[in-house]
Amino acid sequence: MKTILKKAGCMVLALALFSGLTLSAGAEYNDFEAITSHVSTAVPQQLQITRPAKDIGTSAENYYLTGNSDPQQPLTLNGEEVEGRGKSGSFGAYVPLAMGENVFTFQNGAQSATVTINRGSGLQEEVSLIETITYMTPLYDVALTSGSTATLRCTAPAGAAVTASVGGKTIQMKQKAKAREGVPASFTAEYKIPSASGTEELGQVTYTMEFGGNTTSYQSEGSLFAVGKGDTLLVEVKDTSASVFAEESKTSNFVTTAKKGGVDYVSEIGDTMYKLGMGGWIPMESARPLTGGGEYRNRVSDVSFSQDAGSERFVLSGTGAPLFTAYQTGEKLYVKLFHTTGVENIDASGSELFSKVKVTEQNGNTTLEFLRSGAPLWGYLVSYEDGDTVITCKYRPALSGGSQPLSGITVALDAGHGGTDSGAFGISADQGPVEKDITYDTALAVQKRLESLGARVLMMRPEDRKESFNDRMQPAQDALADFYLSLHCNSIATNLNGLKPNGVEIYYYEDISKAFASTILNSVVENTGRASRGAKYSNYKVTLQTLAPSVLVEMGFLTNPAEYDDLCSRRGIFNMANAIGDGLIHYLS
């Protein structure tokens, strides 16, 4: 891959930026060891076939063979040179399969390895056996009307006896289809929601299994709730940012981003979503049913204004936490608060961002139009604090002088996946670095680079553990971060030719993130030499921050040997760290 040398020290960078000079690409950061000393994502460099790891049978017409090898030695497959190979020896070969036995022998110097793939006959496709219950519904809290029927599901070993217990009732579950004992099988049972007064929690579902002479019990992650007939169900948004859709489908038009703590009533209970009083559909997994009553109407009694060095706050004191739709343009910030009344006037005389606020109340909803005064609005946030609705508006951050141009800038950095969530497997499968390892080591290098440039960095995944989306996003919101970057690696299905897809793509959702996505993309392409796959619009959760430019960076393909080896290497990680640092400085220049 092309290597682009970068900047011979932060002082040169800062002087060039603030003197209006154009930096040349002929110099280099001189802290390679400091930035990459932690990197542990070394690729195995001895011959091994990682996919398939052993002889298998398949009905597929083609197969993508992968593995590792000694990069200092030639590599052949059945006597022919393997061309799809990375700098650390990772390889891939997309091969056709004839009916019957297909033997593939790799030779790497003095080492050899052979695997046999039987197409259509002989060896059977490998089936894993299990001894535990998994995929237990409800996977999240679910509220249903009294008298309706909930279908309880779980995956358990075929041949097991499974019961489900909830709300004081135990039901025998049925295995859906015959299967060899021990293979994963689906079990189901029907449960009638009992009568309730208001909204009552029935609790988690307990699944009990008798199998292999042992009895074991498990609990569902979510709880069931009963809603009395004719009663109103209220739900509270439990995600830092939750998508609301036009219809009961995640593929329908996107309506708005609901924020944690927002409350609305449910006008219709669907299979996996609630239709809210504001008109949109929210996934059940993003909302918590409220018991004991509550209030969704927001009657505002007072509006106050305050500001600090980085932002302005408009605080609406009221009786509820209303959902909203909002957007910003060059002319205004538009916020529509549902089920909200009582806002008579908002004084913007102390604002540096807005000249006035136009207030319109119609059909029980209130629209606020914050008219821009010329000062740049970096981003906004609608949140709920102690019963108040708070609209926070951020000033544009600025580069500082000297050798640390990012001083005063706060960057939230998310290393994708983690813990039990490995993310995508690479060429080495489970014998080498996987996505969570690469994103973590890369994030640490980016943190070091940004801190060397003066930035404050918030690590959304500070260690190798699985974090919820709230844990990945809430700290950035609480700190009013100036940027949010989530690092990931790309891959394709294992039945496709992994040698073909390559390059970097960056996703954004909010308009304030579009230009930032392009800037980071160009910087990564320049620093790594990888192809550009474009800056793309999509509503991934980590891109739903409205407070600051927020992007998801797909750094390269783990299924491509050349990109896998580079993504795992200290030099490749160093280049990515430089790319992020350079991109932030360029965007703020």
Mean pLDDT of the chain: 93
The rounded percent of the chain whose pLDDT value lies above 90 is 88
User: Where are the CATH 3.40.630.40 domain residues in the chain?
Assistant: 10-42+400-588
Name which residue leads in pLDDT, 24 or 16. Answer: 16
Query: Are 318 and 303 in contact, with CB atoms under 8 Å apart?
Result: no
Name which residue leads in pLDDT, 114 or 462. Answer: 114
pLDDT in tens, 328-379: 999 999 999 999 999 999 999 999 999 999 999 999 999 999 999 978 999 9
Give the residue-averaged pLDDT of 176-190.
Answer: 95
Among the listed ranges 15-29, 114-128, 449-463, which one has the minimum average pLDDT value? 15-29
| Structural element, H or E, at residue 470 | helix 469-478
What gap in Å lies between CA 255 and CA 152, rounded to an integer? 31
Task: Please give the pLDDT value at position 28.
Answer: 62
Query: Are 439 and 491 in contact, with CB atoms under 8 Å apart?
Result: no
Task: Please give the pLDDT value at position 17.
Answer: 37
Query: Are 427 and 471 in contact, with CB atoms under 8 Å apart?
Result: no
Fold of 142-227: Immunoglobulin-like (2.60.40)
Give the residue-averaged pLDDT of 533-551.
Answer: 95
SS3 category, 134: strand
Task: Please give the pLDDT value at position 193.
Answer: 98
Q: Minimal CA–CA distance to 102: which of 46, 68, 60?
A: 60
The answer on pLDDT for 310 being more than 60 is yes
The answer on pLDDT for 502 being more than 60 is yes
Name the band, by pLDDT with cuts 50, 70 and 90, for residue 482.
very high
SS3 category, 256: strand
- The CATH label, of 3.30.413.10, 2.40.50.100, 3.40.630.40, 3.20.20.80, for the domain at 10-42+400-588 is 3.40.630.40
Query: Are 533 and 504 in contact, with CB atoms under 8 Å apart?
Result: yes
User: Where are the CATH 2.30.30.40 domain residues in the chain?
Assistant: 234-289
What gap in Å lies between CA 436 and CA 434, rounded to an integer? 6
Name the band, by pLDDT with cuts 50, 70 and 90, for residue 466.
confident
Give the residue-averaged pLDDT of 389-394.
Answer: 98
Give the residue-averaged pLDDT of 120-125.
Answer: 61
Dihedral of alpha carbons 255, 260, 265, 271, sign: positive
| Structural element, H or E, at residue 377 | strand 377-385
What gap in Å lies between CA 129 and CA 124, rounded to an integer? 14
The answer on pLDDT for 411 being more than 70 is yes
Superfamily of domain 48-119: Immunoglobulins (2.60.40.10)
User: Where are the CATH 2.60.40.3470 domain residues in the chain?
Assistant: 298-395
The answer on pLDDT for 477 being more than 70 is yes
Query: Are 207 and 133 in contact, with CB atoms under 8 Å apart?
Result: yes
- Kindly report the backbone phi and psi dihedral angles of residue 511, in degrees, each rounded to the nearest multiple of 5, phi listed first: -60, -35
pLDDT in tens, 200-247: 999 999 999 999 999 999 999 999 999 999 999 999 999 999 999 999
Task: Please give the pLDDT value at position 126.
Answer: 57
The answer on pLDDT for 572 being more than 50 is yes
Which DSSP string corresponds to 318-346? -S----EEEEE-SSEEEEEETTEE-----
User: Where are the CATH 2.60.40.10 domain residues in the chain?
Assistant: 48-119, 142-227
Query: Are 30 and 9 in contact, with CB atoms under 8 Å apart?
Result: yes
Task: Please give the pLDDT value at position 122.
Answer: 53
* CATH annotation of 234-289: 2.30.30.40
Name the band, by pLDDT with cuts 50, 70 and 90, for residue 525.
very high
pLDDT in tens, 413-447: 999 999 999 999 999 999 999 999 999 999 999 99
Task: Please give the pLDDT value at position 15.
Answer: 36
Cα atoms in the 13 Å half-sphere on the side-chain side of 244 = 26
Q: Check: CATH 2.40.400.10 for 298-395?
A: no
Task: Give burial (CB, 10 Å; 0-12/13-18/19+) of 372.
Answer: middle
Task: Please give the pLDDT value at position 494.
Answer: 80
Question: Is the whole-model pTM more than 0.95?
Answer: no
Name the band, by pLDDT with cuts 50, 70 and 90, for residue 107.
very high
What gap in Å lies between CA 450 and CA 456, rounded to an integer? 8
Q: What is the separation of C-alpha 435 from the centre of its chain, rounded to a whole number of angstroms?
A: 13
The answer on pLDDT for 405 being more than 60 is yes
Task: Please give the pLDDT value at position 361.
Answer: 98
Degrees, nearest 5: CA angle 123-128-134:
160
Give the residue-averaged pLDDT of 253-281.
Answer: 97
